[in-house]
Amino acid sequence: MSTVSETRKPRRKAAARKTTKAGARSASSSSSRTDAVVARSEVLIIGAGFAGLGSAIRLRQQGIEDIVILERATDVGGTWRDNTYPGAACDIPSNLYSFSFAQNPEWSRSFSGGSEILRYVHHLADHYNLRPLVRFEHNVESMQYDDQRGVWCVKTSKGVFEGRSVVMAQGPLSNASLPNIAGIEDYQGHKIHSAMWDHDYDFEGKRVAVIGTGASGIQIIPELVKKAGFVKVFQRTPGWVLPRPDFETPGWNKALFRRFPASQDAMRKALYLFHESVALGIIWDTPLTALVERIGRLHLRMQVKDRWLRRQLTPDFRIGCKRVLMSSDYYPALQKDNCKLITWPIARLSEKGIRTVEGIEHQFDCIVFATGFDVSHSGTPFPVTGRDGRVLGEEWSGGAQAYKSINVSGYPNLYMTFGPNSGPGHNSALVYMEAQIDYLVRGIQTLRERKLKALDVKPDAQRAFNRDIQRRLAKTNWNSGCKSWYLTEDGFNATMFPGFATQFARQMAAFDLGDYTELPA
Amino acid sequence: MASIDLEKMLVKIKNTQWSLADIDWEAPGAELITEEQWPKLKEFMSDLMWIEHVGARAFAAMAKKAPNDTLREIYNYFHAEEQRHANAEMALMKRWGMLEGDEIPEPNINLRLVIEWLDRYADEMPVYVLGTVVPMLEIALDGALCTFLLETVDDPVCHQAFEKINDDESRHLGVGFTVMEMQGHGKTYIKAAKMLAPLLDPRLLLGIASYFPLLNKMRDNVIAMGLPEEKLYAAMNKFEKIGGRTADGRRNPWFQIIRQHAKFVVNRSNRVYHVPVDAVVRLTGHIPRRALPAVPSWVKELTYRPAA
C-alpha cells in the first residue's frame, strides 16, 4: 500500500509564496489553517480511481504534466479500493473492463474479481508513475471559480488547491448509502456495508442477514452462504439475472495476448460488438428484449425448481429498466440449506434483528447492507460555485444537466467524468470513460494552444443537447415505468445515455469549439 | 362515503405495523378455555388460520395485477399482514396447547382445494375478480367469525391479538371497497364486458367450483361452534350494503355477481343452490389427501414463533 502522500513539497513551497490577495475568494474569506493555498497546477483532478488516473495518463501523453490529483483515501483505486466485499467482481469481461491504451494480457479469468481489477489500477498508477501526482487524504470540501483570474479554488481538508482546469473524477458510486429503514440505530448486532467491508469479522457459524439483492448483493450472497451458519436474504424487488460465463483464462490465451497484442485487440473488439448488440434488447423495447427476457426466465427455470421461489424471483418489469444482473451462482446459493429468501416487507430493525410485516422478528449476529450508493441525481458531492456565484447543486435541483455529460455552462474549464447522462447499461463503463477522458484532454489542450483563460459552454448548446437527450430517453426501457436508481423521485433520468457506446464515443469525439464561449487570457 | 386516499393509506399501513413479539404469549389467561370449547375451538382456529392464509395468497396475486405502484405496495403489505394474522392465530393455538411440537394444523379439504387453485391460477386472474371476492371473504371473517371468537373466548391475550388483527382488517376492507368502486368507475358496455370476460375462463370456473363449497363448509363449521348462522349472513349482507353505497360500486359487475351469490348463500330455503353445493362439500370430504399434489412451499412459511 502506497504512502506517497507528500511528494510535491517543492511545489508546495512555491505555491505558498503565491498565497497572496489573489488567492481564492473562499481561501481569503477565512483564516483557518485549511484555507491556505497549498499548490497551484494547470489541472486538478479529484479522485484517484479509474477515471482520475486515466485522465492523468492521457493528459501526460499529450504533454500536459502539471497535474495534481486529490484523493480522500490513503491509496488509489476508487470504487475497487472501497468495494472489497467477498465475491466482488465486474459484470463486464476483463478484456473490455480495462483501458484500450493499457491492455492487460494477464487477466486470470473472463470476469476478473475485484482484487485483480484493483491490482490493474495499481499497475496503472505504478507503470505510469502517477503516485507522485496524488495528494492522499485530501478530502475535497468545496470548490469555487475565480472569474477574475480564471482559476478554480478547491478547498480540501488540508488546504486550498488552485487549478486552471478541474476534472471531477470522484465517481458516481463513491458514497455508500444505508437504507432509510425505521430503527436502523436500534440494532445492536454487527453492521457491515458492502462498500466498507469488515474483513476482521468472522462469519463462521454466524446468523447473517443480507439486505439488498442488487449487483453487490448477488455477488456477496454465494460467498457468505459458503461460510456463515445461516443467511437470510431480504429482497424488495427481484431483478433480471442472466448467466455469467466466468471461466479461467488458459495459459495459451495469455501467451497469445502477450506475443500478439493484435489478438487481444481483436478479442476486445468482438466483446465490444457483442455488448453493443445487447443494447438493442435492453435499452429499447424490441423483439430482442423478449428474447433476452426469455433467456433470463429460462435461466431461472433451470436453476430453481420450486414454483413459489421462482415466482418470488421473477421480475415484474421489463428487462433493462433496472440494472441487469449477471450471476450463475446466485440462484443455487439461495437454495442451499443454510439460506432463505425473505420477501416480506421490512417493518423495522430492532435490537436483535429485522422485524418483517408477517410479524416475525428475524434475529441475526450481523446485518450486511448491500443497499448500494447515494447516487446524486440533482446535487453535487460538495458545493461547486461557478461564475457570478452560481451554485451547481441549486441549478440542478430540478435534475442534473450538462453538455455532452462533461461540461456545464457557467462553470468554465470544469470537466466531469460520468457526469449527467453518461451511464452505460449494456457496455463497459471504461469505454464511456475513455471517450470522456479524450474529450477533456482536447478541451484542456485547446485552452493551452489558443492561450485562453477559459472555455465555457454556451447555455443554448447545453439546452439543445439536453432536449435531444431527454427526447431519446423517453423511448428507452429505463423510462418505461419502473423505479430505479437511474431516476429521480420525479422520474427524471439524469443518469443514463440513451444509445450505443459507439454513439456516445462519436458524440465525445467531436469537439465543437462553436458551442463554447472563449474567454481570452 | 368517499373513497379513501390510497397514498395516505399506505403511509398509515407502514406506520401501524406490529409483530408477534409485541404480545406476551405466556401471559395468564390460557386456562380460561373450557374443556367443552377446546376441541371445537381447535378446528375453528385451524380453519380461521387457513382462511387468513388463503387471503394472504390472494393478496399476493392481486399485487401482481395491481393497476399502480401504490396499490401494488399496499397489496404486498396486506399479503404479509394476512400471514401475520395466520401466525398470530397459530401462536394462540400453541398457547392453548392445540399444537404438538412444530405441528402446523391441516387445512380442511375445501380449503386445501382453494389453496391448490390459488397456487395454480390466482396470478393469472384479473384483479377485478379477486378484488371483489376477497372483501367478501374478509367481511364474513371480520363481521362474524372474529366477533364470535371474542364473544365466546375469555382469554385476554386472544382479545389483545384480535384487537390488532381487526385494526388491520378494517384497513383491508377500506382498500377493498375503494378498489371495487375504482373498478366500477366508467360505465361503458365494453368495460363491463371486459370485466365479465374472465367468466368464460375455465380456470375461473374451477375457482368458483372451490369457492362455493368453501362458503358452505365455513357455514357448517360456524354452526358446529354454536354460532347462529344468521350472524354470518348479517356479515355477508354488510358486503352488499358497503359495496353498493356508491354508483361506481354498484356498477362493478363483479360486485353484482358476488352480491347475488351471497344472497343464495344466505337464503337457506334456496334448495336449488344449497342441495348441490352441500353435496359437493360432502363429496369433496371424500377426496383422499394423497390424491392432491404436495402443498406449495408458501404454506410452510407459517410459524407460531415470534422470533426466528
Which residue out of B74, B75, B83 would a mutagenesis test of the A interface target, given it has the greatest number of A Cβ atoms within 10 Å? Answer: B83
Type of residue numbered B222: V
Which residues of A lie inside 8 Å of B (Cβ-Cβ)? 306-309, 311, 316, 344-345, 347-348, 350, 352-353, 355-363, 483
Instruction: For A359, name the nearest residue in chain B, comparing CA atoms only.
Output: B19
Q: How far apart are CA B8 and CA B6, in angstroms?
A: 5
- Pairwise CB contact (< 8 Å): B87 & A306: no
b/e map A401-428, b = 16+ CB within 10 Å? bbbbbbbbbbbbbbbbbbbbbbbbbbbb
Q: What is the pLDDT of residue A6?
A: 31
Interface touch A344/B80, C-beta < 8 Å:
yes
Contact (Cβ atoms closer than 8 angstroms) between residue A220 and residue A85: yes
Using 50 as the pLDDT threshold, list the residues of chain A that sit under it. 1-32
Partners of B88 on chain A (C-beta within 8 Å) are: 359
Which residues on A lie below 8 Å from B83 (Cβ)?
344, 358-359
Considering chain B, what percentage of its residues have pLDDT values greater than 90? 29
Q: Are B182 and B175 in contact (CB under 8 A)?
A: no
DSSP-derived pairing of the beta strands A159-168 and A151-156? antiparallel
Contact criterion met (CB < 8 Å) for A361 and B297: no
Helix (H) / strand (E) element for A162: namely strand A159-168
Contact B80 A360 (CB under 8 A): no
pLDDT at B61: 93
Chain A environment of B77 (Cβ under 8 Å): 345, 357
How much is the average pLDDT of B156-180? Answer: 91
pLDDT surpasses 80 at B218: no
HEC profile for A116-128? HHHHHHHHHHHHC
CB burial string A197-209: b at 16+ within 10 A, e below: beeeeebeebbbb
pLDDT bucket at B116, cuts 50 / 70 / 90: confident
Query: B-side interface with A, Cβ within 8 Å?
Result: 14, 17-21, 64, 69, 73, 76-77, 80-81, 83-84, 87-88, 119, 123, 296-298, 301, 303, 305-308
Q: What is the pLDDT of residue B296?
A: 86
The type of residue at B211 is: Y
Residue A137 has a pLDDT of 96
Cβ neighbours of A233 in B, within 8 Å:
none
What's residue A18's pLDDT?
Answer: 38
ipTM: 0.87
Model pLDDT for residues A90-120, shown as the tens digit of each residue? 989 999 999 999 999 999 999 999 999 999 9
Closest partner CB to B80 (pick from A308, A357, A362): A357
Residue A178: predicted pLDDT? 79
Q: Which residues of A touch B69 (CB under 8 A)?
A: 483
Return the pLDDT at A205: 96
Is A309–B80 a contact, with Cβ atoms under 8 angstroms apart? no
Per-residue pLDDT tens over the stretch B28-39: 999 999 888 888
Among the ranges given (A363-367, B165-169, B276-280), the one the predictor scored with the smallest mean pLDDT = B276-280
CA distance, residue B260 to nearest chain A CA (Å)? 34
Q: CB distance B307–A352 less than 8 Å?
A: yes
pLDDT in the model for residue A15: 37
Of A308, A345, A361, the CB nearest to B307: A361
> How many residue contacts between A and B have a Cβ separation below 8 Å?
66
**pLDDT at site B195:** 65
Q: Measured between beta carbons, which residues in chain A are less than 8 angstroms from residue B21?
A: 350, 355, 361
